Structure 1
Amino acid sequence: MSRDMLEQASKYDHWAWLYNRTLGPRYGAYKIGPIERVVLPHVPTGGAILDLCCGTGQLAAALSERGFAVTGLDGSADMLRYARENAPSVTFIEGDACNFAFEKPFDAVLCTSASLNHMQSLKDLVAVFSSVSRALKPGGIFVFDVNHPAQMSRYWHGHPTEGEINTDFAWLITPHYDSAESLGAFTVDIYRRPDAHPVSMLDRLFTRLMRFRRIRLALLSHFSRLRPQWEHHSVVNQIWGHDLDTMSHALQESGFSTDLRSTQGGPVDDSHAAYFFCRKVTTSEIQAETTKETAL
């Protein structure tokens, strides 16, 4: 695994326990519905699926429960430790999304939660696309979602967007994006109540107020002052914004046909993330296209 990929993976190690309790289950439950509608009709019954950048395994578990033969790959050892607990029937492998290979090909590869935004360059993306192409059967499906520059430029301005307060831990995510540099990050602030510090009435009040998003984010923005005795550390995860047309071209060069959509359905806009629905072009299709071009 490259040094950049190791660094990214180690940052997820630091908050794997939190991801497993919060965002992992939430994202898994949110994404399985669209995947059932858009992807799974193109996968044979009991087909082989690779969950690329699988995190703590909640989506892999849902796919396995539906009868698919699932393999999960991720660079974070701690994420995979939770994944193996969450989906014991799934095979999980620690590896680099830019460079992987399997003996048996897959019917589909999924990469969710904008994981490919962690790829620093077009070269890294091409390496991912090439590895996916090698891992797929001819005609196999590759689906992934990304946060794109127009969307991040509109919404990622250093304001807190997600967070939660519990009696023993709290967390806050703050994203920002520099369109001039095509570079952004999301900071995860993590708070944990020391074991020696008893749960107070105020802690319980904070938990009850959690359902009011505006109040919750306001409290979390000042949580270090409100709870100075709680342990606090931050994890900064860098991301890169990639031009969607450039990504489409790179996918086609890697042997995929592509269809680009908003994650909410319909054409891409600056209000939502985007997803690529790709299919590995078969040898006969390549030959047919070559013959057509020669005739012209």
Structure 2
Amino acid sequence: MTTSSKLFLSLAHNPPNYESIARLQNEFKNKEEFIVEGVIPIFEQILFPHIPEGAHILDLGCGCGYLGSQLHKKGYKMTGIDASEALLSYARKNAPENNFILGDIRQFELPPTFDAVVSIDVLLFIVNNDDLISVFRNVYTALQNNGLFIFSIPLVELMRKTVEEGYMNHVYVNDEYALIELFHYQPEEKIWKIEVTGFELIDKVWKRSDATWLRKDHLLSDVQSALENVGFREISNISPGDESQSACFICWK
């Protein structure tokens, strides 16, 4: 097996490694403005009307905790789970009222105590159907009866234009930080290899960090089948906007 193949297998079977660039994730990704303007208005339509006041919500792949912080402000009890201790260290600062669990979303076991589970821009890192089913099964187990599961996930059907253009690179810059994400598409697997480079200005010296991630574009039929496989019902999905590359799924236990 080649070194490249070994790296691919390692990336495919492990959560993305954020430890060296957690500070940059906290600085640039899913910040308060994005949550307030881009996520909360959608939740006001598809989540809040269907859960009780003070409901207990699990944030799957909570990252730096900005979503959980905003949902707490809406009056909900929040628990977040993430595989990165470095990201959780920021989450505990950004949302000190919430509870956080260190764990891989493909392997966690929680009792059926949650009224809802939400996950934004996380399941794109699940790169095979078996792991996707495992995540859905864990969520199903953690939900109370009639609990609601809402998540976003990139779909092949929505990504065709981006794949044809072959361009999805991201650059984030301010006076003290820079984050560069270069995407390389592998058409047979429908996977993007993401080469991540970050820079932090520390004591007037720029410090560089590097990471490599894998992102999967899923088929609509595979997502639907995986949800049905573990018992979810009344499954529907919406595209948040004309330019969206991800669908938002809504389903019930």
| Pairwise TM-score range, normalised by the shorter structure | 0.7 to 0.9
Shift of residue 232 of structure 1? 3.2
CA contact (8 A) 2:112 2:141 kept: no
CA contact (8 A) 1:146 1:274 kept: yes
Residue of 13, 21, 30 corresponding to 1:15: 21
Give per-residue Cα distances to partners, 1:127-164, cap 9 Å, x unaligned.
11111111111111001101112333421555454323
Q: Which has the higher contact order (CA 8 A, sep 6+)?
A: 2
Larger deviation, residues 162-171 vs 56-65: 162-171
CA contact (8 A) 1:51 1:73 kept: yes
Structure 2 residue runs without a partner (length 5+): 1-9
Aligned to 2:124: 117
Structure 1 residue runs without a partner (length 5+): 198-229, 281-296
Shift of residue 125 of structure 1? 0.7
CA contact (8 A) 2:155 2:247 kept: yes
- TM score, norm. by length of structure 1: 0.74
Mapped to 2, the partners of 1:160 and 1:5 lie a distance apart of: 20
Shift of residue 62 of structure 1? 0.6
Mapped to 1, the partners of 2:184 and 2:153 lie a distance apart of: 15
Q: Is 1:188–2:161 an aligned residue pair?
A: no
Mapped to 1, the partners of 2:214 and 2:46 lie a distance apart of: 29
Aligned to 1:55: 63
More strand, by proportion: 2
Aligned to 1:278: 251
Shift of residue 165 of structure 1? 2.4
CA distance change for structure 1 residues 127 and 4 in 2, over 3 Å: closer, same or farther?
A: farther
Larger deviation, residues 249-258 vs 81-90: 249-258
Secondary structure, aligned partner of 1:138 = strand
CA distance change for structure 1 residues 7 and 254 in 2, over 3 Å: closer, same or farther?
A: closer
Q: Is 1:76–2:84 an aligned residue pair?
A: yes
Mapped to 2, the partners of 1:158 and 1:13 lie a distance apart of: 28
Residue of 141, 155, 165 corresponding to 2:173: 165
Aligned to 2:236: 259
Q: Is 1:135–2:142 an aligned residue pair?
A: yes
1:234 maps to amino acid: D
Secondary structure, aligned partner of 1:8 = coil
CA contact (8 A) 2:195 2:211 kept: yes
Give per-residue Cα distances to partners, 1:79-113, cap 9 Å, x unaligned.
10100001111000001111222235211000111
Secondary structure, aligned partner of 2:43 = helix
CA contact (8 A) 1:177 1:184 kept: yes
2:70 maps to amino acid: A
Secondary structure, aligned partner of 1:34 = helix
Mapped to 1, the partners of 2:112 and 2:149 lie a distance apart of: 16
The share of aligned pairs that are identical, in percent, is 31
Mapped to 2, the partners of 1:60 and 1:49 lie a distance apart of: 9
Secondary structure, aligned partner of 1:17 = helix
Aligned to 1:174: 182
Mapped to 1, the partners of 2:203 and 2:109 lie a distance apart of: 44
- TM score, norm. by length of structure 2: 0.86
Aligned to 1:151: 158
CA distance change for structure 1 residues 256 and 47 in 2, over 3 Å: closer, same or farther?
A: same
Mapped to 2, the partners of 1:119 and 1:247 lie a distance apart of: 11
1:151 maps to amino acid: L
Give per-residue Cα distances to partners, 1:17-40, cap 9 Å, x unaligned.
111111131543332221222211
Shift of residue 170 of structure 1? 1.6
| Structure with max Cα Rg | 1
Larger deviation, residues 150-159 vs 17-26: 150-159
Q: May I ask how many residue pairs the two structures share in their alignment?
A: 240
CA distance change for structure 1 residues 103 and 252 in 2, over 3 Å: closer, same or farther?
A: closer
More helix, by proportion: 1
Computed over aligned residues only, the root mean square deviation of the Cα atoms, in angstroms, reads 2.2
